[in-house]
Structure 1
Amino acid sequence: MIGRSLGAIRGGLGFLTRLPVPFRDGDWDALRTTPAAFPVVGYVAGGLAALPLLAIDSLPEPTVAFAYLLAVYAVTGIHHLDGVADLGDALVVHGDVERRREVLKDTTTGVGAILAIAVVVAGLALAGLSLASLAAVTAVGVAVAAEVGAKLGMAAMACFGRASYEGMGRQFTEGASPASLVAPAVLALPAAVLTWPHPAAAVALVAAVAGIGLPWVWANHHLGGINGDIFGAANEIGRVVGVHAGVIAWTLF
């Protein structure tokens, strides 16, 4: 059991980040059947990406924000942005479900893809600028909570989602069940108290999960279900929504 869990975490780090974690035989199968690995990866990736925020008291806010943006993509890679691009093209295309699925598979980059990536990257950059206005410890707590929330949302998609066709998305949805969400939810709970007693981290965690619901619901209605591109896009959108919501919560409460 422990060996399979470690294999799932290795698989998650190898699949969801750019960290030099070597895959072993069985790690992929362990990951797709162990949704609990997702929030664990969120803690690792979120913590590493948040390191530039520790320089808030030493560097200008725009510099810290830019460093945070670079750190996020240095740690997590840009392959999930491909899902954002494909989702953007599918959003703007005219046609039925089959036509939108064709666009998702098309390697041509359209204006919808460019706009979608621009909005997500700009959203994350502005979120980083908002984080840079907070105390360092608070900013790190919100950033980590948002990352964990995004990964918890991915776990929820795996446990409750319906795949639109054969592919990576179906491998996750067939490897998990609704009951499988209990473990990742429990593992994600500590992220909610990273700014205790202030609820900013809890809001970031919940908002990131809710943010993932946006492409998920759209895919169910317009694609007949989710796929690998939706998983990737949801991860990026969930992070942006989570960070912004956490900062707003800190400002208002």
Structure 2
Amino acid sequence: MVLTALRGALGFLSRLPVGHSEAAWNAFTASPTAFPLAGYVVGTLVAVPFLATGAVPTPVVAAGYLVAVVLVVGVNHPDGLADLGDAAAVHGAASERREVMRDTTVGVGAVLALGTVLAVLALGALATAALAPLVAVALVVAAEVSAKLAMATVACLGRPSHEGFGATVVGDKRPVDLAGPLAVTIPVAVLAVPGTAVAVVAGLAVAALVRRWAHARLDGVGGDVLGATNELARAAALHAGVAATALLGEVALWTRW
């Protein structure tokens, strides 16, 4: 059941050739724990460029990471971020904002949202590439797991804004269902470098903010909100993890003196 749910999650959350079946999709929608489990797989793959940290220039490593994210994850989540950006630019009722999200026209809000998050992620990748290879890999994996935990959090604590694709993921979840996703995130939070725990917390903070905004502005959560949560949480988690690692390194240096 767990492997089937994981396969369904990877089929929905990535471009990996795992196949698509009704059984896998149903197992995934019934098991929010599959979100962070998929994060471990995706995170490990997109972290591969950081194994070259120290051997090649940091911009090359950072660029390799961004390319890996696009190749492994695809464009579905950035598309959700773009739609959310357009909705945020609308001054009107929740129904008007949701209507804008269904429009295929790309507005200024979408461009600004995508451009800002991409720039933030690129800067985070550059900072990560300046760290030791294994530390960098741990932070990148943690950021991806944190992003998927953020999606699970929004799914478990949110309410569907309308009937549709997102409602099948969000509709039948309860707050208690978040226990599983939190449990499988513990290894990356406590067994890796110290900054990974901060990365996980950052993703949860993003989830709380996005859920609150979506409930207030969209009357609930849909598929685009889940996708946007992934993109925002990944960028925030990576920066938080790098910052915490640097600060803890400074503290360790001062304590030796």
TM-score calculated relative to the size of structure 2? 0.93
Question: How far apart, in 1, do the equivalents of 2:6 and 2:129 lie?
Answer: 30
1:209 to 194, 199, 204: 204
Which residue in 2 is equivalent to 1:110? 107
Give, as a single letter, the amino acid of the residue that structure 1 aligns with 2:93. Answer: D
Q: Which amino acid aligns with 2:131?
A: L
Is 1:58 the counterpart of 2:50? The answer is no
Which residue number in structure 2 is paired with residue 191 of structure 1? Answer: 188
- Does 2:238 match 1:243? yes
- Deviation per residue, 1:139-163 (Å, 9 max, x gap): 1111111111111111111211111
- For 1:194 and 1:100, the matched residues in 2 are separated by 42
Query: C-alpha distance in 2, partners of 1:74/1:123?
Result: 19
Equivalent residue for 2:4, pick from 4, 7, 26: 7
Task: Report the equivalent of 1:220.
Answer: 215
Q: 1:162 aligns with which of 146, 159, 162?
A: 159
Give me the whole-angstrom Cα distance separating, in 2, the residues matched to 1:214 and 1:73: 25
Instruction: Give me the whole-angstrom Cα distance separating, in 2, the residues matched to 1:210 and 1:179.
Output: 18
Does structure 2 conserve the Cα–Cα contact (< 8 Å) formed by 1:145 and 1:194? no
Matched position secondary structure for 2:104: coil
For 1:127, the aligned partner's letter is G
Select 2:67's aligned residue among 65, 70, 95.
Answer: 70
The superposition leaves residues 203-242 of structure 1 with CA deviations (integer Å, 9 ceiling, x where unpaired) of 0111122123332221111111110000000000000000
The question of whether the paired residues in 1 share the 8 Å contact of 2:215 and 2:221 is answered with: yes
Determine helix, strand or coil for the equivalent of 2:171.
helix
Identical columns (%): 50
User: 156-165 or 52-61: which moved more?
Assistant: 156-165
Is the 2:54–2:130 Cα contact (8 Å) retained in structure 1?
no
1:234 and 2:229 are equivalent in the alignment:
yes
Specify every segment of 5 or more residues in structure 2 that has no aligned partner in the other structure, as ranges: 249-257
Deviation at 1:56, TM superposition (A): 0.4
The residue type equivalent to 1:29 in the other structure is N
State yes or no: 1:177 paired with 2:174: yes
- The whole-number CA distance in structure 1 between the counterparts of 2:100 and 2:164 is 15
Query: How far off its partner does 1:194 sit?
Result: 4.6
CA-to-aligned-CA distance 1:155-204 (integer Å, 9 cap, x gap): 111211111111122111223222211111111100113534xx201001
> C-alpha separation between the residues in 2 aligned to 1:24 and 1:52?
31
Unaligned runs of 5+ in 1: none
Q: Distance in 2 between matches of 1:144 and 1:100?
A: 34
The DSSP-based 3-state class of the residue aligned with 1:226 is coil
Amino acid at match of 1:100: R
Q: 1:194 to 1:127 in 2, by over 3 A?
A: farther
Alignment counterpart, residue 123 of structure 2, candidates 126, 145, 161: 126
- The CA RMSD measured in Å over matched residues stands at 1.1
**Paired residues of 1:89 and 1:113 also in contact (CA < 8 A):** yes
2:252 corresponds to 1:252: no
